[in-house]
Chain A
Amino acid sequence: MSHPLKHWFESQKQTRKFHPAWIALAVSATLGVAGIIWVPAELVSRAEAPTAHPPPPPAADNKEMHPADMPTVIEQTPGPARLRGAKTIRVDFSPPADAAMPTDEFGEAVRLGKNIFTDTQTYARGYVGNKLNCVNCHLDAGRKRDSAPLWAAYVMFPAYRDKNKHVNSYEERLAGCFRFSMNGKAPAPDSKEMIALISYSYWLAKGAPTGIALKGRGYPKLADPQQPPDEGRGKLVFEANCALCHGADGQGTQVSGRYVFPPLWGQNSFNGGAGMSQIKNAAAFIHANMPLGKGNTLSEQQAWDVAKYMNSHARPPDPRLAKSS
């Protein structure tokens, strides 16, 4: 270990301020440096592309390693296991404003994509088996950070997914949400619906570096809960924070036949194969995004508990299980 870190590490050991936690810090710092060297130079140069607005990406020739200069890597899909524990640098990106939407033929497809996304019940009605719209789980028309925004997803595909154990195209990823989250069936890859959704995503991601995890991707993962998620506690969280909008029975609230507040369980909600039916995804979404407009106000434990409570109710079955029975 012929590294400046070692000297720092040694010097810390001499002083009385030494604390066991420093070891963990030093180890992760070293891992981080390994990561920097490992990440292909191509990624770094793409992150510097003039069209994006990244914070200065980590320089691979970082000489000084103060504890404050956190070790950094750029995350890829899938995250290489050997980098686990190293802090991730995520590149900042903002999608274009709606007003900048083109007006040509491509713009038409983009606009249709947005309509499908925000009003799936109308614009892709034949492919939907519940009462949800894509936007219900991907807020602000698929733009909001930390609610799995489309612009951050688009640049990460094709990608390998554990869920189906192969490399997925972006179309396949969209198809997954149709089949499970929307409890429906996916439009064909060359259908106007699919082309429109891809056009919208592509337009939102315009100028973003590809293959790099952008800041705000997905739902921010929570640390493991301190106490096992508990339905009973979750019910109390639900009654105090969610029932006002989603209804005491979780069935949402409608105005003249349309859901203003979507159903959280039951026949009109996502099915048992959906990402949201996994407690860790639901807890992450809820913590960052609910109650609406008050994201990040529940404690993490409350988010775990209410996610457990939500997913303890009946919902349409996972279609993969139904088939084999």
Chain B
Amino acid sequence: MVHADRLAGAALAQKGSKGVPACMACHGANGEGQTASGFPRLAGQPEAYLLKQLQAFAGGQRKNSQMAPIASALDAQQMRDAADYYASLPGWRPQGQTRAPSPQYALGLRLATSGNWSKDVPACFACHGPGGAGVAPHFPALAGQPSVYTRSQMKAWQTATRTNDPQGLMQSVAEKMTDAEFDAVSLYLEHPSLDEKGK
């Protein structure tokens, strides 16, 4: 097996290649994603997770009209290069801007750190790691992900349009949650902090 080439991955991200647009056009100059349009953050995600998602878009187990053609145009080597490059970039760090405390943010914090066991929903961080920073190789980081994106993925599991999660773990979380809970936890995860004041 050929090794991943991080520099080739960086080139692909910044310039694209034949028939493949530059990833940064949508995923941001440093893989930080775009909050408003909901393009996901890729920087700092586990390499194995990123590679798996590219394969899933190309193979049809994960559906998205923008990513599917791009992933299908990548060869196996390019997928590995891109995954290696984005995994090497720094993950999300709190940037100091504070979030206005609100009941919705507090509900999101509760779901992320304690879950809702009356419906058998574990804390998000029980699987996604403390602070939602991810647990390599299988559990992606959630912290700093655009809320539009997080919400859309929760909905996708609930309606079984994303089905590539191992052991159906995410589906079993999402199917027990309400839309209001999706809103709250997505809002929280865009800028997570450990107290309810949003610091």
Contacts and interface: CB of A to CB of B under 8 A. Distances in A.
A181 to B, nearest CB: 19
Interface string A287-299: 0000111110000
A291 B135 CA distance: 17
A1 interface: no
Contacts of B168: 294
A314 interface: no
B21 interface: no
A240 B167 CA distance: 8
A119 to B, nearest CB: 11
Given A140-B114, A244-B166, A295 B135 contact: no
A140 B169 contact: no
Interface stretch (B23-31, B34-42, B123-131, B155-163): B123-131
A140 B135 CA distance: 20
A140 B130 contact: no
Contacts of A241: 167
A141 B114 contact: yes
B50 interface: no
Interface in B161-177: 166-169, 172-173
Nearest to B123: A140
Interface residues of B, number: 19
Contact of B172 (A139, A258, A293): A293
Contact of B135 (A98, A143, A253, A293): A253
20 contacts: A139-B117, A139-B122, A140-B114, A140-B115, A241-B167, A244-B138, A244-B167, A245-B127, A253-B135, A255-B130, A255-B135, A260-B126, A260-B127, A260-B135, A291-B167, A291-B169, A292-B122, A292-B126, A293-B122, A293-B172
Interface of A: 98, 139-141, 143-144, 240-241, 244-245, 253, 255, 258, 260-261, 291-295
Interface of B: 114-115, 117, 120-122, 126-127, 129-130, 133, 135, 138, 166-169, 172-173
